[in-house]
A and B are shown apart, each in its own frame.
Chain A
Amino acid sequence: MPPASDDASISGDSVVLRVLHPKWVTTKGGRERPTSDSLLDSNYENSCFLEGEISLAELQVLFIGRKIARIPVSLLRAEGFWLERRPGEAPDGCTRPSSHLVCGPPDAPVRGIYEAKARRIVRALGIEILPGLPRPDPEVLEQANPNQE
């Protein structure tokens, strides 16, 4: 479901963190950025986390190996996206479930309009991609825990 409301407690100068699938990252003009697919959910509800309410280090551990996009809230709102907190949909082990939110257009636009909005957001220069933590080498893990199956 699209966000039912735009949370007024999330200020316009906040930043959200969007965890990325490996295929949601591209390089255009020498600059790495998220693809529009990273902001296109078939139900208009893209999971994000509010920077400052959860640490980057915790997200990097929860989603080990995955890159993370920093997206200014002002960019999302400029395209009509709303942000709604959904603590009940936070991942297991998250110490601050209230930092989890979904963003998307509340009016569930047709695909062409949704694609254009998402594309304008991800092309903005204000977006930054942060590296993920490297996945541990299975051999190193096995040496550290020799008795574990």
Chain B
Amino acid sequence: MIPMFATNSLTEVPAFASWAQGMPQIANATSISNSPWLYSALTQVREIEWEGELIPGLGDLRIAVQTAMRVRKLLSSVEIGGLAAPVVAPVSGGGLSIVWSLGMKEVKLSVEPGGDAVAFKIADDEIVPNGATDITTPTALSEHLTWMLDPRT
């Protein structure tokens, strides 16, 4: 008999849930079952945090604990379902970038090593006019993502 819930992704969620419970910064996190993209995003952040290294000739891909924590807090505060999993990439020098894509639109969240964050609205591979915003509250990031999901914009 084939178990009903036998996919890798679902069998891995409990492992994630166990370490997520140990992180006070995402204690009030959006539920992963409501936002499946969050699981992928947090896992990618974790991988970069663990595997980032200084590679002479390429860059310093290590990220600080506080940078990863800031990203986790921001991601976990987004209460928007229906997003595809973003691509989380290291930025040389200790930063991170998170990119959500939908058709010809993207939202890019750029987080500096010190924790400062900027979000960009991107359409047809170009930053839209006045599309860069300092992210000081989770609401600002959600506003960008809502723009991406809205077919009228």
Contacts and interface: CB of A to CB of B under 8 A. Distances in A.
Contacts of B55: 63, 91
User: How many A residues touch the partner, as a band?
Assistant: 20 to 34
A142 interface: no
Contacts, number: 80
A115 B128 CA distance: 12
Given A111-B118, A112-B118, A119-B127, A40 B57 contact: no
Given A37-B89, A40-B95, A89-B56, 17 more contacts: A19-B57, A21-B90, A23-B87, A28-B125, A37-B91, A40-B91, A41-B91, A42-B93, A42-B112, A42-B113, A47-B57, A62-B57, A89-B57, A90-B57, A112-B127, A115-B120, A115-B132
User: How many B residues touch the partner, as a band?
Assistant: 20 to 34
A91 B57 contact: yes
Contacts of A63: 55, 57-58
B126 interface: yes
A24 B95 CA distance: 13
B110 A41 contact: no
Contacts of B118: 111-112, 115
B57 A94 contact: yes
A21 B110 contact: no
A123 interface: yes
A45 B116 CA distance: 19
A145 B72 CA distance: 43
Contact of B92 (A28, A42, A89, A116): A42
A49 B58 CA distance: 10
Given A37-B97, A111-B112, A123-B125, A90 B56 contact: yes
Interface string B53-68: 0011111010000000
Nearest to A66: B58
Interface string A95-106: 000001000000
Contacts of B113: 42
A119 B132 CA distance: 14
Nearest to A22: B89
Contacts of B93: 41-43, 45
A23 B118 CA distance: 20
A42 B91 CA distance: 7
